[in-house]
Amino acid sequence: MIAAAALCPWPPVLAAELTGPDPVIDRLRDACARAVRRLVQVSPELIAVIGPARQTRAWDPDSRLDLSVFAPARSRAGDPALPPSLGLGVLLLEAAGYTGRRVLQAVAEEEPPDACAELGASIGRSGVRAGLLVMGDGSARRSERAPGHLDARAAAFDASTERAFRSADFDALLAISPGLARELMATGRPAWQVLAGALRGAELTSDVLYSDDPFGVAYLVAVLESRPVLSGLGYGLRLRQLAASLCGASQSASAETFGGLRTGWPARRGSAPGAARPRAPGPARQHGTGGPARARRRCPAYG
């Protein structure tokens, strides 16, 4: 199963050794660092780094990025063949203090959506409680100074991608056209669709930490975390919906509360936790006016 996922872009400036401090870059670096720390804090058994590359293949999990591929004046250290998207992901994991098992999975930039989804699904079926660190950039045609110059379609493309991540709409991510993504130089498309294949059908919360285009390239940083079905810490709307469905079986059921939030588990009014659940009553009895009034009572989950 997938415990959580972090989404980060992969510009070379994420490596502080290449540029040093910069107010604009520091905001992006800070958002990526926070996203990866949250991924590590869920304590997955392993973290799979997913990034676009020339071909789909797994890399040695101990591989490290050779920064000389960006700055030839630097001395060589690491594997110059390692795709930069994976190498920068490794740097983020190490900066977050992660020392556990990891998988480095490249996905070809031309990989079709169905193949990306199946790759993601295979990760989800692995039987390991895994985390995903997905490295992907949005369009690179957001302004005249962008790498691909301005394309009027870029803003709408990136806005729809961000909406899909905010709402955890994995079908929308899988529907992204490879052709349009290629034209807009959105290199993150195949990695996003691997994530969508891994998480499709899961109940998740989404938190977008950064969304901007400082160099004419759309960068999005987000965290997707598993949503507990029942929790005293949040998700009140879903719990109210569950409680409402239970009320269909018993109008006399009440929703217990935990931490001030309704859990949705039915219990007799005034009964102790763990008491026997009430049986569903038959049709409302017509004893004067009491029966119909009781039958029309609002579900206690909404009271």
pLDDT digits (tens, 9 = 90+) for 81-94: 999 999 999 999 99
Calpha distance 89→140 (Å, rounded) = 20
Same domain, 255 and 165: no
Domain assignment present for 252 = yes
Same domain, 254 and 213: no
Query: What pLDDT shows up at residue 18?
Result: 80
For the CA atoms of 181, 186, 191, 193, the dihedral, rounded to the nearest 10 degrees, stands at -30
Query: Which H/E stretch holds residue 52?
Result: strand 46-53
Calpha distance 284→296 (Å, rounded) = 9
pLDDT digits (tens, 9 = 90+) for 55-69: 999 999 999 998 877
Q: What is the CATH number of the domain that holds 128?
A: 3.40.830.10
Same domain, 134 and 247: no
Q: Which distant-in-sequence residues (6+ apart) come within 8 Å of 212 by Cβ?
A: 27, 28, 218, 219
Calpha distance 245→152 (Å, rounded) = 46
Domain total for the chain? 2
Domain assignment present for 24 = yes
Domain assignment present for 171 = yes
Q: Which of 226, 251, 273 is the last residue of a domain?
A: 226
pLDDT band at 26 (very low <50, low <70, confident <90, very high): very high
Same domain, 6 and 80: yes
| Residue span of the structural domain in which 86 resides | 2-226
Same domain, 33 and 127: yes
Same domain, 123 and 251: no
User: Average pLDDT in the 194-216 region?
Assistant: 95
Instruction: Select from 223, 235, 217 the least CA-distant residue to 140.
Output: 217
Q: Which of 226, 250, 276 is the last residue of a domain?
A: 226
